[in-house]
Every structure is written in C-alpha cells, then in structure tokens.
Amino acid sequence: MSIKNTTLIWFRNDLRIHDNQALFASLEFSNCVAIYIFNENDFIYDQDGFKKIGVFRYNFIIETLEDLKLKLSKLNVPLIILKGNTIELLKQKIIELNVSQLYFNASPGTQEMDLEALLTTFCASNKISFKMYQTNTLIHIEDLNFTPQNFPKIFTQFRKIVESKLYIRQEFPIPQKTNSTFFFNSFRDVNQPQKIVVQKINTEIDIKGGETNALNRLDYYLWKSNKINTYKETRNELIGMDYSTKFSAWLAIGAISPRRIFWEIEKYEKKINKNESTYWVIFELLWRDYFNLSMILFPKAYFRFKQNESSFLDEKQKNNFLNWKFGKTGSPFVDANMKELLNTGFMSNRGRQNVASYLINDLKLNWQLGAKHFEEYLVDYDCASNYGNWSYLAGKGNDPRSNRYFNIEKQKQTYDPQNKYINLWNK
Ligand code: FAD
C-alpha cells in the first residue's frame, strides 16, 4: 500500500488507549497505523539457558494485543503485529507504508534505548518526523523536584522529596476516531499470532491480559470489593488474588496507566475512605517510579557487570541453581514460591524477597541468574523493577548494603504459620 502521509504509532510497553500520549498526539493525523513487534531474539535461549520472554508473558501480551486491536479498530486504526528484528521491521514498514510521522512512547532499559537511538538516526536521515514521549511513570520525569545529578540514592529520600511536592499530571483523554475508514479497511486480513496452550495446575492466580481486564481489576479492587481499604494489612499474604492489587502485569505492559490508578484512588479517598492502606498503594507505585526513573536517567548503571559475569562457575553452582529454579532446594518455603512461579508466572512480593535472598545469601549465586530467571517467567516482568529489586537485595543497586538477609524459617513462621501456602504448592 502506498498512501501518502501515513502516521505510524509504534506500540511497546504502552498497550492501552487511555492516557497514551503517543496515540493521542498521532491521531491528529488521519491515516494512522499501529504496529507491535515481538523481538525475535527474546525467544532464543542464551548460553546459560535463559530466554527473555516465556509462555506466561507471551500469552499475556497476546491477550492484551487482542483487546488493543479491537479498541484501535473503533478509532479506525489498524494494528499490525509482527515478530522479527525490531529495527529492520520498523524500517521496512516505514518505507512500505510511506510513513511521514512516527510516534511512540519511550521504554526504559538499555536495549530499548539503543533501539530508540537507531530509529532516531534512521528517521533523521530519511526526513521522517518523529516524536517520543516519556509516559510510563506516575511522576513525569520533567516534574521531578531535583536535578538528575541529585537523584537520591536511597528510596526513602526519593519518596520524601517527591512527596513534599507531589505533582501528578492529568491523564490524556481517549482520542477521537479518525475518519479514514477506507485506510482502515485495507488492513483487514493481517495474520495474528496465537496463544500457546499451557496447563495450569492451580487456579489461585489468574491474571488475564488486556486494558479492559486491567480497568475491571481497578474497579473491582477499589469500588466493588473495597479491598484497597485493607491493603496494608493483607499485602504480605501469599495465597489468592486479593491480598494485593495484582496491577503489576498490566502496569508492566502498559495496559493500565499509573496515573489512572492514582486518580482513581484519589476519587476513592474523597468518596469512600482515605487511610494508610489507600496511601500504601501509592507508596508502592513510588517504588516502581524510583526504579523506572533511575533506569531512564542512568540506564548503564543497572548493567555495569561484565558480559560473562552471569555464567555458572562450575557444575555444583549449576545444580544449585536448577534446584532453586524447580523448587527442589529442600527449603519448603523457597520451594513453594518457586513452584508457584513456574506454574502461574506470578509470585508474591514476600516470596520474591525470600527466594532472592536465598539465591544470593544461602546459595551464594550471582543475583543476575535469579533476575534472568524472573525475566523469563514473570508475567509482570518489568526491566527496571526486576533488575532494580534484585540488585537492591544483592546490595549492588542505588543503595548498596550487604546485609539484606532474610531468615527463611522465620519468614515462613511469620507469613505461613499454618503451612497453608507450603502445603498448597509442595504436594
Ligand atoms: P502490590 O503490592 O499491589 O503493589 C502495587 C504496585 O506497586 C505493583 O503492581 C507494582 O507496580 C508496584 N510495586 C510494588 N512493590 C514494588 C517493588 N518492590 N518494586 C517496584 N514496584 C513495586 N515488580 C514488577 O512489576 N515487575 C518485576 O519484574 C518485578 N520483579 C521483582 C523482583 C524481585 C526480586 C522483587 C523482590 C520484587 C520484584 N517486583 C517486580 C516488585 C513486586 O514484587 C511486584 O510488583 C508485586 O509483587 C506485584 O504484585 P501486585 O501488583 O499485587 O503488587
């Protein structure tokens, strides 16, 4: 197809139509086409046996794309979904579709930023105008009340400074439908990737992709169930959907905007109740911002380690790692958590802290092995939150301390005194 003046919207970790600056800005043009690309390298195992995207996240993204495609179709925007070399496919589509404008939202991470740089150069040399927006955090990066040089090294300092003058921008409205029905219709029969069938042995956790499901979850957690009222007391529990918000997977892929969550909580606090629990969800979103903003500002700091540093030193290390991965360490609490991850793609925050401490402090393995395993299996994998939390626990992050040790037996006694959780998974 060669229609003049096409606008291409490159979707990444922003798979929604609400509060999406790139989508909102691009729909001022009439012939808009959206594209999402699965990077083929993310499906290839590396030398240590890890790949970047496992079945849980893959299926979650497919579900999210199905929902997005439907919503975009109502705006007359076709969505093309491809798998391959991201930069090459983007260049190819830009030429094939006669693209004159390219719009996208930035995504934290070194590889993501490298892609953005390559694309910027390509657009500049081909006279294609492009716009990139920063939208994945609660606090807009330009609204931080300190300079990048003064970025606090410790979360508590960061939180206190930003809370002293908390400013959260309003959401972008859902854009109006374009009038290019003809353009839209010419994209009708594009092939769609299918989900991979997985057999779940436990249905305690069931998080389905899509903006619609994300917004329903928000509605449920606040208005329908009032669970937010008791979040601070329940957030360290281990079983079921409702002890915590479960917003993470939708936030990670951008099916929900953190600003939508913020403003909805603010409404809830005005209409129903404001307490420590309602505040604590915002507090946790600030942890997410802390890791994401520091990754945007200092991307290389997260990946300072040597290329081969994550490889196993010997067979014993490899066996220890595999026992950890498959829930066969002999520590019932660690094993239960690892089996939950293997079978559902999810693990509670309490569980994540314990299994990470076990890998780092008890098995004395390199934290990056754990981070890579999480990257492959977590349905809510988010580059900054994952590598940020792992390096923090390993004492290698922004706040370097080496004594973040979790006494696993004590933790089990406190959080699973009746063995309900360990019996659920260690059958
Ligand atoms: P809730 O307790 O309901 O919290 C609300 C939201 O706040 C979450 O959805 C999340 O967006 C944010 N949040 C909460 N705690 C943290 C935190 N410690 N760091 C950053 N954001 C936080 N979270 C991810 O989203 N992706 C990851 O890849 C990831 N990897 C982790 C790895 C380790 C080793 C650890 C210890 C934590 C990791 N976390 C990660 C943070 C946290 O465990 C999850 O966000 C949380 O368990 C998701 O469940 P929830 O949505 O019900 O969280």
Q: What distance separates the 2 farthest-apart alpha carbons in the chain? A: 67
Q: Which domains does the chain have, with CATH numbers?
A: 6-135 (3.40.50.620), 211-297 (1.25.40.80), 302-425 (1.10.579.10)
Q: Is the CB of 13 under 6 A from ligand 1?
A: no
Report yes or no: 317 and 324 within 8 Å, Cβ to Cβ: no
Atom number in ligand 1 closest to CA 390:
34
| Cα separation values, 4 from 25, 262, 324, Å | 19, 40, 55
Measured from the Cα of 281, ligand 1's closest atom is: 5
Contacts of 93 (CB under 8 A, 6+ apart): 8, 35, 80, 99
Quick one: which of 377, 376, 368, 363 has its CA closest to 321?
363
Atom number, ligand 1, closest to the C-alpha of residue 370: 34
H helices present in 272-366, as ranges? 276-297, 299-302, 315-325, 332-344, 349-357
Coil vs helix vs strand at 108: coil
- The helix (H) or strand (E) run that includes residue 99 is strand 99-105
Q: Which residues of the chain have pLDDT under 50?
A: 1-2
Going from the Cα of 113 to the center of ligand 1, the distance in angstroms, rounded, reads 23
Nearest to 101 by CA among 1, 8, 2: 8
Helix (H) or strand (E) holding 258: helix 258-271
Can you give the pLDDT at residue 377?
A: 97
| Residue nearest atom 31 of ligand 1, based on CA coordinates | 386
pLDDT at 313: 75
Per-residue pLDDT at 204: 77
- For a mutational test of ligand 1's pocket, the pick from 278, 389, 392, 398, i.e. the residue with the most ligand atoms closer than 8 A to its C-beta, is 389
Place of tokens 């508590």: 156
Residue given tokens 């936030």 in the structure block: 251
Distance between terminal CA atoms of the chain? 57
Is any atom of ligand 1 closer than 6 Å to the C-beta of 243?
no
Distance of alpha carbon 365 from alpha carbon 351, whole angstroms: 18
Any ligand 1 atom below 6 A from CB of 31: no
Helix (H, G, I), strand (E, B) or coil at 105: strand
Name the residue type at position 27.
L
Q: Would you say the CB of residue 246 lies under 6 angstroms from ligand 1?
A: yes
| Ligand 1 in reach of 374 Cβ (< 6 A) | yes
* CB of 354 closer than 6 angstroms to any ligand 1 atom: no
Distance between Cα 385 and ligand 1 center (Å): 7
Residue found by looking up tokens 């007391």 in the block: 233
For residues 208 and 62, is the Cβ–Cβ distance under 8 A? no
**How far is CA 288 from each of CA 156, 251, 392, rounded to the nearest angstrom?**
13, 10, 13
Are 203 and 100 in contact by the 8 Å Cβ rule? The answer is: no
| 288 Cβ closer than 6 Å to some ligand 1 atom | yes
CA 288 to centroid of ligand 1, rounded, Å? 7
* pLDDT digit string, tens, across residues 1-22: 445 689 999 999 999 999 999 9
pLDDT digits (tens, 9 = 90+) for 282-305: 999 999 999 999 999 988 776 655
Start-end of H helices in 50-198: 55-73, 86-96, 110-125, 155-163, 181-185
Q: Which of 222, 280, 288 to mutate to test the pocket of ligand 1 (most atoms within 8 A of CB)?
A: 288
Residue 408 Cα to ligand 1 midpoint, Å, equals: 20
For residue 103, list its beta bridge partners.
9, 131
The CA distance from 228 to 243, in Å, is 9
Task: Give dist(CA 231, CA 245) in Å, integer.
Answer: 8
- Our answer on whether the CB atom of 244 is closer than 6 Å to any ligand 1 atom is yes
Read off the pTM: 0.96
CA-nearest of 263, 275, 284 to 227 is 275
